[in-house]
Structure 1
Amino acid sequence: MAARLHPGIEVRPPLSRIPSKSYAHVKRAFDIVFSALGLVALSPVLAACAVAVKATSQGPVLFKQKRWGRAGSRFECWKFRTMLVETPPDMPAQDFADKAAFMTPVGNFLRRWSLDELPQLANILKGDMSIIGPRPVIIRERRLIDLRIPLNAEAVRPGLTGWAQVNGRNLVSDEEKAFLDGEYVANMSLAFDARVFFRTISVVFSRRGVNREAR
């Protein structure tokens, strides 16, 4: 599976391994510093997104949803709302027969550029998430959680972006996504986190893998 998902890239396969405490402390320090800086530096963008959401559809600016966190915990994940308030809750977007019918006027734009994810910088600052890690899974997606648990992917904080997101994002199957998430945990290091971060920038600007983005 590793050879098919990313041929030519050397990574360790998923293993039952928990990162060292020193790495975890340094990673958390980076998360605090960069999420705080991000919230300040991107405050004009955050304000513009909030105004756009509020001005074009009725309802709250933020969409709040319970997600799986580290070690089976649950937390409230924040996003800019991209769908109408009457949209069925806790349903992945790929399950809608006509997703466009529920999308707000600015929803597609926010998703296309991943701007809807920016409020999760506050989740990172709180300690619910990390900048890099397996993406937080919707509570109803129990099958993906069950696939990830044996690969140790639930032992770390979920991330704003992750290895699965830069290797197909939501175009890979649940089995492939779980494998990639486990692969990330097996290879966790500051260098690997930097690699994922810079590849994320490329993926966002190329807009690859956004057509099945979860709600």
Structure 2
Amino acid sequence: MNPQRRPYDLVKRGADLLVGTVVLVLSSPLQLVVAVLVAVNLGRPVLFRQRRPGRDGHIFTILKFRSMVDIDESRGLVTDEERLPRFGRLLRSTSLDELPALINVLRGDMSLVGPRPLLESYLSLYTPEQARRHEVRPGITGLAQVSGRNATTWKERFAHDIYYVDHRSAKLDLWILWRTVRTVLARNGVSADNSATMPEFLGHQENE
């Protein structure tokens, strides 16, 4: 067995398939409504697709509902804050934009719980310790997300990610899922200070 793998990982994968399938089916009517609203308010394509690194750094395409309008310099729509309208903010604050990622869970790209998949461009910026976040499948929600979401520093976020990698268990996953419901309902930590989402990760400078 790969020393990074644990017996719980097999149980966790089974739970992902079971729960992910049930939630995907039950949320289908809601997702249809959200898709129509996205098309009306933001245009097409309805789904946002982006390459992200998963377990062991393998690249996959994450699926989310679109929450931003296209870059349009003529209209002054360049930065994330400028491209994120009120409807997009609502999607993100309620985490409804994350529902299509259930397909990633069923494909095996992601798990329901784990470190959030970050940008592919960050891979070369990680320290060996930070890179350990890729020892497990990335999650739709994770310890960092229920500990402040985007209103945390990168140092704090990586600390939560590594803690999860080292202590993952059914008990911890259930606690994170419960905390996720509370965090989403309270709409806490949707954005960082002075940022529409999360500031760009700059590598070693974040740890100074």
Q: Which TM class, normalised by the smaller chain length?
A: 0.7 to 0.9
Please point out which of 112, 135, 140 is paired with 2:93. 112
Give ranges in structure 2 of 5+ residues lacking alignment.
200-208
Report the equivalent of 1:134: 115
The alignment partner of 1:160 has SS state of: strand
Please point out which of 102, 107, 128 is paired with 2:83. 102
* One-letter amino acid matched to 1:64: R
Does structure 1 residue 193 correspond to structure 2 residue 162?
no
The alignment partner of 2:121 has SS state of: coil
Report the equivalent of 1:202: 182
Report the equivalent of 1:159: 139
Matches within 5 A, 1:1-80: 18-20=4-6, 22-80=7-65
Matches within 5 A, 1:79-90: 79-86=64-71
* One-letter amino acid matched to 1:184: Y
Aligned partners of 1:207 and 1:123: how far apart in 2? 24
Instruction: Sort the Cα spacing of 1:121 and 1:144 in 2 relative to 1 into closer, same or farther, 3 A.
Output: farther
Give ranges in structure 1 of 5+ residues lacking alignment.
1-16, 89-94
TM-score by length of 2: 0.83
User: Once the 2 structures are TM-superposed, how far is the Cα of residue 105 of structure 1 from its aligned partner?
Assistant: 5.2
Please point out which of 124, 130, 133 is paired with 1:148. 130
RMSD: 2.1
**RCO higher in structure (CA 8 A, sep ≥6):** 1
Aligned partners of 1:172 and 1:143: how far apart in 2? 22
* One-letter amino acid matched to 2:95: S
TM-score by length of 1: 0.81
Aligned partners of 1:177 and 1:57: how far apart in 2? 30
Q: Identity of counterpart residues, as a percentage? A: 38
8 Å Cα contact 2:42-2:67 kept in structure 1: no
Instruction: Sort the Cα spacing of 1:162 and 1:176 in 2 relative to 1 into closer, same or farther, 3 A.
Output: same
How many residues align? The count is 188
Report the equivalent of 1:92: none
Aligned partners of 1:145 and 1:210: how far apart in 2? 24
Ranges of 4+ aligned residues in structure 1 off by more than 4 Å: none
The alignment partner of 2:135 has SS state of: coil
Q: What do the CA deviations read for 1:138-171 (whole angstroms, capped 9, x no partner)?
A: 112347643512xx22100000000111111111
